[in-house]
A and B are shown apart, each in its own frame.
Chain A
Amino acid sequence: PTVSRSLNTLAMTLAKFEDVIQQLQGNDPVQVYRALKIVKNSIIGNRTKKAQYANSGIIQRLVQLLSPSNGVSEDLRMQAATILGSFAHGNDEIVSQIIAAGAIPQLLNALALPSDTPPAIAVQQNIKMLEAASRALKAIYSSGKAYKKDIYTSNRLDNIMTILKVTTAAISEEANQVSQTASFVMIAELTTSIIARCCTTHEEQTFLSQCGVIEPLVALLHSGYTKAQEAALDAFSSLCRENIDISRASLNARGKTVCYNTDIIHYSFGISYLLVRSSFRPDDFDYYVRFSTRQEPDLTNIYRADVFPEPFSDIVLVVLPTLIKLLKEDNTLVQEKAPLIMADLVKDSETMQKAAYEADAIPNLATILASVSKEDDETNEHRIGVQGSGGLVASKEKVKENCLIALAAVCLLREECRTQAINSKILPYAVGAMSSHNPAIRLAACQCIKSLSRSVRHLRTHLVDAGVISPLLKQLLNDGSPVVQAAACGSLCNMILDFSPMKKTVIEQGGLASFVKFTRSDTAALKLNSVWSLKNLLYSADSEIKRTVMQQLGYDYLIELLNDSSLEVQEQALDLVRNLSCGTKEDIDDVFNGIGENQLLDILERRLTNSMMIDDGGDNASLTLEPALYTLVNIAVGSSQHKAALLRRPDLMQSIVRHMSHEKASIRSSTAWCIINLTWSDNEDKVLPECFGILKDLGVEDKLKVMESDPERDVRDRARTALSQLTSLSDMQEV
């Protein structure tokens, strides 16, 4: 009997395709039902069969059967919904077909409850249809291909909310009817997932919150049914994203505590947040941390106001070690998500980065990075089959990308992190990742390298030894993706700061040409980073390099950059001039000739006076002020002609003096330096005779005396030097 049974099964699935399709199109309900069963048995779990059937136009027929106006039996409608649900797990094309056939409105209508029955009973009566329809909808919405607006029309959302509330309430009570409980849990989970997928804009979030979605979700969170809890956390994630009000409301909603499968740790410092931890379901951690990450802007704001330091340490004490523990799990999904969450948590906070370091985040990240990178080295000889681009490969790539992002975040600010990262041998993998076919990985690799490149010491040895320069220069500055290029540019930027051999290499290998090219880029980040790079290239550079750079960039274009619409570009361009003029008198001459003495000084003067008018209270005022002042400092080091050019501009000098009482210490220092340099004489260049008079008339002496008691030591020292030089000048005058 088993033999013939399996033959029958085979026969069923091998049944003539056309026969089944034909039966389905017919009007005999018995035949249609039989055909539906055959289709159902064929397509379940079977992507190939799904595709085959989908091509036959069956989906249209299913949507037709689903519609209540066709006089079709409830049973048949349910089968149709179930099968649509199965199809919805097929490939994107099939899902698109389903949507195009108008399935969504029909499925949403199938969730409607009769108005003459109490909701709780109505749900029970229609439970099978609700399950089938909601499963189909969840799958469709999860594909990301559907418009969400259908849900917000008519009273469809009302239906969904009713269903959610009824099922959640039923689960929360100690239900006697355990068989129903399973269904209720499933429907609650599915409806919640639908909500999670259909909630992206601020309006939608607010609307759902007003419909009372938070309370049932909190109840689900406490229900102890892990699938439902996951769905609830997912929903919270969507609801709370960048929405402080809902975040607060969710945090304050308290529910019952501890259930069987999971441990719920409940903290409260006037703000409570829920941590759902299950020792057997590591995926739960992921959602929980996402949940609390959504709150983190909330908590961080409060922390920075120094009101509640405690919750912050909660994050440090509990979340970070938890995340790191997760990293040790051999679970690709967790390895994919945990690093990203960690990056999110630590990227804005040096304290968090330190905490991550102390909790051994870096070696663990390094281990994962190594494990997903080793396939790159394997030869293809021993491989069976065709290189996949399916789920498994994509996951591994995501893991690699996210690990690199996490490493970039943790190493952002602290030297010890970078040291440990390099000692954990991540460099070969990061460098290798720069050649990945996947632009997201290349970008992440660049960001990682950039973080590491902020360390001067390692730069010289490890990064260069790891061969980071060439890939950065050759491949990445010419990458297809401007975002990657900007990141590569940023990495190189740090590396060309100090060391002449490095600068020469970069120039020789075409780096300079690329930087210059990208100063004209439409992509803001790339443009800024390339100007920045040129500035760094010129830092402490010898005259030869300076000339080479300016030959390629052109002084005319430099002037354009100095007047760019973006303040940040202006800032970098000014710093560039600052670096150009820092050096020999010939260097200063070059700049004067290149830009034009008057034009240059006009620009500098404007930056000094403008900043007094733009008082937006922010840093914008001093953004261009500082580089302008330090450029003047450099010019003042020059020959007597250079000094004279400055002294003979009364508005300029007046601005300098006014800034001597600026609130920022570095600005005050720079003004003192100006005075020092202007009053300095060496054998070649004597101080101008009118120098003392001009300075005296401006009241510099008195201002310097005030600065002698400046709170900043640096300012005090400079002021003292300037005063003594001024005094010896005055002595000379009198003689």
Chain B
Amino acid sequence: MSTTTTPSKKTISKEEWEKKLADVKINKQDLNKLVMNYLVVEGYKDAAEQFSIESGLAPMVDIASIQDRMDIRRAVQAGNVDAAIERVNDLNPDENHNLPAQANLLYLYFQILDTNPQLFFHLQQQRLIELIRRGEFAEALDFASEEMAPRGEENPEFLEELERTMALMAFEDTRQSPVSDLLHPAQRQKTASELNAAILTSQSQEKDPKLPSLLRMLVWSQNQLDEQRINYPRIDNFGTADLVTRDQ
């Protein structure tokens, strides 16, 4: 809350603004990299491929691995955790997969799960959730004792989450349970994102694309200027990025 009175607002004209913008030198290649980074991390494989051809920029990862990563993510999001895991574990040269990429992901996967107990726990947890969701209670109990109990012993910090998951089985109508949030699509989304992020990290990719952060910085900057009661050409629509001057 400003207590100083500013009798006159500072104004920056559109010409001034555009001149300042023009003075900033941005490398075209850097812009391309930003876009490519976004496409790769978010998994838009075809777009990345096309963009690579148009811009002459090679993506930092093998395009086919993007496909694999997206397939895996989609599988988890659809509740098919087993399929996701099996697909990667099956080093089966008879299948119609691009072998080199498959081989890469396989080794990545081993590295990821062996060095990331939290991810492993969450994948197992998701498997349990799916079994419960499908009403396969017998299998769920077996799975819980075979796979989940040891996780709790190995890492006491997971116990709380584990017990919440087990609590799902306590209610006939799972939707009434106080832990029903575990059944929401959001839970799958969380697990899928965690897996995606882990794969990206182990490929020396960043798990968050830079573009959204830049956008957030733009919004923040404009808010700062607004708070200072400065009149300047503003971007209101981020789709068109038109500079709009407000009249006094």
Contacts and interface: CB of A to CB of B under 8 A. Distances in A.
Contacts of A260: 33, 37, 60
Interface stretch (A110-118, A384-392, A434-442, A681-689): A384-392
Contacts of A41: 89
Give the interface SS of chain B, mostly helix, strand, loop or mixed: helix
Interface string B136-159: 100100110011001011111101
A182 B62 contact: yes
A278 to B, nearest CB: 8
B179 interface: no
B153 A387 contact: no
Given A6-B139, A385-B159, A14 B107 contact: no
Contacts of B116: 45
The interface centre, meaning the residue of A128, A178, A224 with most chain B CB atoms within 10 A of its CB, is A178
Interface stretch (B2-10, B169-177, B202-210, B219-227): B202-210
B101 interface: yes
A45 B124 CA distance: 10
A44 interface: yes
Contact of B160 (A2, A181, A384): A384
Given A14-B146, A44-B113, A46-B120, A2 B58 contact: no
Contacts of A718: none
A388 B157 contact: yes
B23 interface: no
Contact of B107 (A139, A181, A186, A228): A186
Contacts of B159: 384-385
Interface stretch (B79-87, B185-193, B235-243): B79-87
Contacts of A679: none
A86 B110 CA distance: 7
The interface centre, meaning the residue of A224, A387, A390 with most chain B CB atoms within 10 A of its CB, is A390
Given A10-B142, A227-B202, A384-B159, A2 B80 contact: yes
Interface in B12-64: 33, 37, 58-64
B92 to A, nearest CB: 10
Contacts of A388: 155-157
A606 interface: no
A3 B108 CA distance: 27
Given A14-B146, A227-B204, A261-B204, A47 B154 contact: yes
Contacts of B150: 46-49
B146 A45 contact: no
A45 B120 contact: yes
A359 B107 CA distance: 44
Contacts of B142: 10, 14
A31 interface: no
B65 interface: yes
A178 B59 contact: yes
Given A384-B163, A390-B156, A3 B134 contact: yes
A154 B51 CA distance: 49
B206 A48 contact: no
A180 interface: yes
B104 A182 contact: yes
A135 B111 contact: yes
A45 B113 contact: yes
Contacts of A44: 89, 109-110, 113-114
Contacts of B101: 179
A134 to B, nearest CB: 11
Contacts of A45: 113-114, 116-117, 120
A85 B114 CA distance: 9
Nearest to B37: A260
Contacts of A280: 206-208
A185 B204 contact: yes
Interface in B94-114: 100-101, 103-104, 107-111, 113-114
A64 interface: no
Nearest to B86: A9
A131 interface: yes
Interface in A65-110: 82, 85-86, 89
Contacts of A179: 62, 64-65, 100-101, 104
A429 to B, nearest CB: 23
A322 interface: no
Contacts of B117: 45, 47
Contacts of B131: 6
A281 interface: yes
A228 B113 contact: no
Given A3-B134, A260-B33, A82 B204 contact: no
A228 B204 CA distance: 8
Contacts of B111: 135
A225 B152 CA distance: 35
B248 interface: no
Given A82-B110, A386-B156, A183 B104 contact: yes
Contacts of B120: 45-46
A20 to B, nearest CB: 15
A544 interface: no
A697 B243 CA distance: 98
A519 to B, nearest CB: 45
A18 B177 CA distance: 41
The interface centre, meaning the residue of B61, B114, B142 with most chain A CB atoms within 10 A of its CB, is B114
Contact of B157 (A182, A225, A390): A390
Contacts of B156: 385-388, 390
B15 to A, nearest CB: 33
A460 to B, nearest CB: 42
B82 A180 contact: no
A203 B224 CA distance: 57
A709 to B, nearest CB: 62
A13 B114 contact: no
A330 to B, nearest CB: 16
A7 interface: yes
Nearest to A48: B150
26 contacts: A2-B80, A2-B83, A6-B127, A6-B131, A9-B82, A10-B142, A14-B146, A44-B89, A45-B114, A45-B116, A45-B117, A46-B120, A82-B110, A131-B107, A135-B110, A174-B58, A178-B59, A178-B60, A178-B63, A179-B65, A179-B100, A182-B61, A183-B104, A225-B204, A260-B33, A261-B204
Given A227-B201, A228-B204, A392-B157, 17 more contacts: A2-B82, A44-B89, A44-B113, A47-B154, A86-B110, A135-B110, A135-B111, A139-B114, A178-B60, A178-B62, A178-B63, A179-B101, A181-B62, A182-B104, A224-B204, A226-B206, A385-B156
Interface of A: 2-3, 5-7, 9-10, 13-14, 37, 40-41, 44-49, 82, 85-86, 89, 128, 131-132, 135, 139, 174, 176, 178-183, 185-186, 224-228, 260-261, 280-281, 384-388, 390-392
